[in-house]
Structure 1
Amino acid sequence: MPRQISRRALLAQTAALAALAPSAMATTPMATEQVPGVYRTRLGAFEITTLFDGELRRPIDDTYIRNAPFADVQAALQTALLPTEFIDNPYTFTAINTGAQLILVDTGTGDLFDPSIDQGARSLAAAGIAPEDVDLVVLTHYHPDHVGGLTNPDGTPAFPNAEILFPEAEHQFLFDPARTGQLPQMMQNFADQARTKLSAYEGRLRLITDGEEIAPGITALASPGHTAGHIVLHVESEGEELLILGDTVTYPALFVANPNWHVVFDADGPQATETRIALLDRAAADGARIIGYHFPFPSIGRVAATGDGFAYVPERWSGILR
């Protein structure tokens, strides 16, 4: 017959175990940061990797959207269950491995923004992408959060073997003092920073035009409005399509649902709206996947047309590349 354990003995054992628990837990410190942001997926025969560079909390007020009452902006954020006085703006760039070439689309913020969001090099390393193995870097436009990662802190090229592809129309704007001189001071600073970054690649800068195939299956498309010469990339492999949107569509809770709104950073608001609607229409009609530079990570999904705008459907994370 089994020996009976007294209630007093049971309580004593329980107290002893409880006394051990805190010291056992204390041996495992809590994390202070997330693991690097890397997400891979297939597009036909291509491998697509999105690379998280971080996010920056941006207070917003009635100047953030130029052509909508702030109350409407706050209502849109509230509908998305988001704070209404700020946005946590993410930054994500993209790598395309075609099997023959390794291509980066934009480079992250580098040393041009808050150091807390300069995580691009960390994400590249976690993805197993060595900077010297990058063949092409395609820049969608000149803003610092896209060109900042071009150079190391000492000003040397971060991608020593890469050719830099830059939109010809953007280059004409960027190097025309009469046009950049008309910009607000902040944008003039952006232009100065971009010219400095590009100068590190003297002899390895190639200008690209609308409709140009920069690699088999990858075509540059003019998409002006956010900047004068902004481009997006249309990527196609084995019948599957992807649009890498750059900043033609930024924060999706605001600008997918309300594509006619003009963010303060759009150089030409009406033109940006026209471009945005055309791209979202195309993505919805073709069933193409999209990547947005300022979409919540992993920054890839699809859009569906609604009555007066579009709905963004984020891609479900999968542990299997397919």
Structure 2
Amino acid sequence: MGAGELDYWSDPETVNTIGAARQAFAIGAARRLEMLGDMVERFEDGDEVLPGVSAVLTPGHTPGHMAFAVAGDSGALMILGDAIGNHHVGFEAPGLPSGSDQDQGLAAQTRLALLDRIVADDMTVVGYHLPGGGIGRAERMDGAYRFVQAG
């Protein structure tokens, strides 16, 4: 687990600072992490977590959220996690705040930087909340982006 994320959810003060709507989530996360104990391995931004898979810090949805860049013979791939929650806001209006993000301003900055990287590096994306199985590409479109499903 990313070091920043692990530290945040393990911190006993998180439940007092996360806000009432997310307190139950914080309590559950802390309990699960305590149960896992030493089974959790910490990694940092840029660390290779598996051969060819590098952690990419994408904060905002949560403080230490990570995406993962995968290098391969047929091109690069970015596993988005929750850095981009849906194609409407995430691609078409990436600078807008999203209620699913803990730090909405930081999440918007992260989305913009992540999409810039994805387009610049011509990466395939895998997004858990994207349509059509969540695999596709990002293209620049009218000052924003669009998600193009793999097909």
Q: Which bin holds the TM-score, normalised by the shorter protein?
A: over 0.9
Letter in 1 for 2:54: T
Trace 1:43-62 onto structure 2 (pairs within 5 A).
none
Following superposition, the deviation at residue 215 of structure 1 comes to 1.2
Tell me what 1:312 maps to.
Answer: 147
TM-superposed CA distance for 1:267, in Å, is 1.2
- Give the Cα separation in 1 of the matches to 2:137 and 2:25: 31
Alignment correspondent of 2:123: 288
Q: Are 1:270 and 2:105 counterparts?
A: yes
TM-superposed CA distance for 1:253, in Å, is: 2.1
SS at match of 2:108: helix
Q: Trace 1:1-322 onto structure 2 (pairs within 5 A).
A: 166-238=1-73, 240-316=75-151
Larger radius of gyration: 1
Cα distance in 2 between the residues matched to 1:175 and 1:232: 20
In 2, distance between residues paired with 1:186 and 1:269?
A: 15
CA apart distance, 1:174:
1.2
Q: Secondary structure at the match of 2:76?
A: strand
Q: Distance in 1 between matches of 2:97 and 2:73?
A: 36
State the 4+ residue runs in structure 1 displaced beyond 3 angstroms.
Answer: none
- 2:15 maps to a residue whose letter is T
Say what the alpha-carbon RMSD is for the aligned residues.
1.4
Kept in 2: contact 1:173–1:180 (CA 8 A): no
Please, which runs of 5 or more residues in structure 2 have no aligned partner? none
The one-letter amino acid paired with 1:233 is F
Specify the code of the residue in structure 1 equivalent to 2:76: E
Matched residues, number: 151
Q: Please report the TM-score for the alignment, with normalisation by the length of structure 1.
A: 0.45
**Cα deviation code 1:108-142 (max 9, x no counterpart):** xxxxxxxxxxxxxxxxxxxxxxxxxxxxxxxxxxx
* CA offset digits 1:254-273 (Å, max 9, x no partner): 32100011111211111111
Look up the SS of the partner of 1:273 in the other structure. Answer: helix
2:107 counterpart SS class: helix
TM-score (norm 2): 0.93
Letter in structure 1 aligned against 2:102 = A
Secondary structure of the 1:187 match is: helix
CA distance in 1: counterparts of 2:59 and 2:120, whole angstroms: 21
Q: SS of the counterpart of 1:240?
A: coil
Which protein, 1 or 2, shows the higher relative CO under an 8 Å CA cutoff with sep ≥ 6?
Answer: 2
Provide Cα deviations, 1:56-105, integer angstroms capped at 9, x if missing partner.
xxxxxxxxxxxxxxxxxxxxxxxxxxxxxxxxxxxxxxxxxxxxxxxxxx
Q: Amino acid of the residue matched to residue 100 of structure 2?
A: F
SS in 2 for 1:296: coil
**Deviations for 1:19-47, whole angstroms, at most 9, x for unmatched residues?**
xxxxxxxxxxxxxxxxxxxxxxxxxxxxx
SS of corresponding position for 1:271? helix
| Secondary structure, aligned partner of 2:42 | strand
Matched-pair contact (CA < 8 Å) for 2:137–2:147: yes
* Structure richer in helix, relative to its length: 2
